[in-house]
Chains A and B, each alone.
Chain A
Amino acid sequence: MRHLNIGIPRGLLFHSYGEAWKLFFRELGCEVTVSPETNADILKEGIRHTVGDLCLPVKTFLGHAAVLKDNIDVLFIPRYVSVEQESYMCPKMIGLPDVTRACMVNLPPVLDPMFHVKLNKEQTVREFVKPVAKFLSLSPAAVSAACERHLNRHEEAPAGQHRQAEHPLNEGVGRSAVPGRMNISVIGRPYLLFDRHLSKNLFHFIKKLGANPVYLNPDRAEIREAMAVIPKWVYWDMGKEVVAAAHMSFKDERIDGVVNVCSATCGPDSFTGDLIRKRLNQRNKPYMSLSLDEHTSDVGIQTRLEAFIDMIAKVTA
């Protein structure tokens, strides 16, 4: 029997949970096809399919769905509502299966189980498992077991796969500051940072300028610590991680500067960006917010990074 081919767009939450999704479906006997890394053609496809006021990462996601859709049996677009109690994903993420259906025609079936941490673990799993078991004609028990093993682990690590050394996009990005180097902490959502095309390969560019790019990935305890410093619990999943990464970066003596990468029209980032600037940077460490959109040129990003690094190095004539 031919295995069912599950298509996963390489966008948005794929950069946080994609490795776990792959393991989950393989355990259930499926084949998994992931779209290639974002390139100019994929982005163009995405822009062609979207309405104007969607953000760059959603546009990119739709481009990935577009290049996948004709070569797979089913598109996997999970509806992530929350991965932790008292927090929520951005509405565009919650509505992602609907947005995709609304923007594109001739889609294969879309498998969109909901991941929503409500009262207890069992409930979360049950809700996620039901549509998957039905679609794959498997027993809920078998799917539950795979879900428990691979997906329902958010309490341990918020975006677990970035802690794994084998993550393909980790290449050359430090996890901590290196003594004696200029260490630049890069904070932001994984789907921007680890998409080399969207982020204009900025990790690489920082290295080319002679500095050491660092990506800190806070764990639960570190997130809690950061939340205690600010006046109010951050409501956004992922936004919370960015705030915590900022807090750790400002606190760490070895970090020389912090670059916050965000998408130009991101609602949650506009809140967290202000919070970071006003409440967390008490010691006035060099901090810069870099906002990306589809018009952003490499030159614009490079000029800002060069200037930022010159500023830290105190370049004078």
Chain B
Amino acid sequence: MDDRKLKAARQFIEAIPHSRALGMVLDTLEDGVAVISMPYDARFVGDPQTGVIHGGAVSALMDSCSGAAVMSHPTGVIGTATIDLRIDYMRPARPGDRITARAECYHVTRAVAFVRATAHDADTDRPVATATGAFTLERAKEARA
């Protein structure tokens, strides 16, 4: 994706009120693969005794990143919505670290997109969480069934 298109996509995603509230930044977006990251913020803590970010905030990051991956699929996608999303939590994210999610739209049919995603903190070798999801697909110039 050229810089102009990436900039437009970045503005679009960062203009979503909840993504902005969580401080999400679109790092890269290309042909069905999206990378979005989110800073550590004390307001997002789920366990006050450890300072670990709440799973719900990680879910929001995974959902946004997966949706962006679907939108960037090179088959003229104009709209998408989550059908289902499953998240597996491997380990707590390290307090203070930025969390980065990478989502890949690995298969599409006429009406459905399949996505998998991984999230990690500063330690990029051990994922914090993984996700799989199914998303609706709307394409341009396609009569609604």
A and B held together in a complex: no
